[in-house]
Amino acid sequence: MTEPLLRTEGLVKRYGGLLATDNVSIDVRPGEIHALIGPNGAGKTTLIHQLTGVVAPDSGAIHFAGRDVTRLPTHARVRLGLGRSFQITSVLREFTALENVALAVQGHAGHSFRFLADARRDESLRGPARRLLEEVGLGERADTLAASLSHGEQRQLEIAMALAGDPRLLLLDEPMAGMGAEESQRLIGFLQALKQNHAMLLIEHDMDAVFQLADRITVLVYGRAIASGTPDQIRANPDVRQAYLGEEAP
């Protein structure tokens, strides 16, 4: 079995009396989509925040790409190959789509303490940015302000930004949120194609998408991972059916 790309060991995070993350150990292997599901308030976002370095766990460890990154700041984890999209769309609204992605490329192109050369005409940034936009299907919207893009387009833009720097692992926090059925289906196809080169940890409420995409699923309830396995195993798991899937389970 291949070495996992991301591995957490007994992560614990408390907020006062609330145990938001309760001894969670999960891993993501190269070339795999691992989906994280759970009802609202299950602690998915808290877990993502620990993985990205927004909050520090109270105990436990996070290993990424063979390194202990538990105490590493966000930007350093990004540099190691951790790309992410946000649950609530987070783009630079005053910048064009192309400029958004060009900045993402710049983030991986060494330091930015360069004061004189015009970065807005820098083909070493714009070229890759244009290719990424085309890859996610936004090629024609390159010069549109991010604020003027439709919601679905902004989600696509986020993924293009997350892909800059060729991350080894993508953390996708509800990428389908607010998308129409058609847009979702297109995104599912796109993510399937991406899987070859980028492992993914996917948080998603759209169960159709999860069961279509995921190689493995972990179910989080009250901060605890109550089950983990293939989509078929999860579907058949009685605890999961009771705690989460409820009537929706096929």
Whole-number minimum distance, CB 113 to other proteins, in Å? Answer: 6
Q: Which residues pair with 96 in a beta bridge?
A: 145
Are 172 and 89 in contact, with CB atoms under 8 Å apart? no
- Which residue number, 73 or 178, has a Cβ lying nearer to other proteins? 73
- Which residue number, 51 or 207, has a Cβ lying nearer to other proteins? 51
Whole-number minimum distance, CB 79 to other proteins, in Å? Answer: 5
* Structure-token pair, residue 155: 């989600």
Whole-number minimum distance, CB 171 to other proteins, in Å? Answer: 9
Classify 11 in phi/psi space as left (phi over 0), alpha (psi -120 to 50) or beta.
beta
Measure CA 209 to chain center: 14
> Rounded distance, CA 214 to CA 174, Å?
14
Whole-number minimum distance, CB 119 to other proteins, in Å? Answer: 4
- Which residue number, 1 or 75, has a Cβ lying nearer to other proteins? 75
Whole-number minimum distance, CB 240 to other proteins, in Å? Answer: 31
- Which residue number, 171 or 214, has a Cβ lying nearer to other proteins? 171
Whole-number Cα distances in Å, 98 to 86, 120, 157, 170: 19, 10, 9, 20
Are 228 and 243 in contact, with CB atoms under 8 Å apart? no
Whole-number minimum distance, CB 94 to other proteins, in Å? Answer: 5
Classify 45 in phi/psi space as left (phi over 0), alpha (psi -120 to 50) or beta.
alpha
- Which residue number, 93 or 246, has a Cβ lying nearer to other proteins? 93
- What angle do the packed helices 181-194 and 151-163 form, to 10 degrees? 10
Whole-number minimum distance, CB 186 to other proteins, in Å? Answer: 24
Whole-number Cα distances in Å, 84 to 5, 111, 221: 15, 20, 23
- Which residue number, 67 or 120, has a Cβ lying nearer to other proteins? 120
What residue ranges bind other proteins (CB under 8 A)?
52, 73-75, 78-79, 84, 86, 90-95, 99, 103-104, 106-108, 112-120, 122, 161, 164-165
Chain position carrying tokens 């991986």: 108
- Which residue number, 17 or 115, has a Cβ lying nearer to other proteins? 115
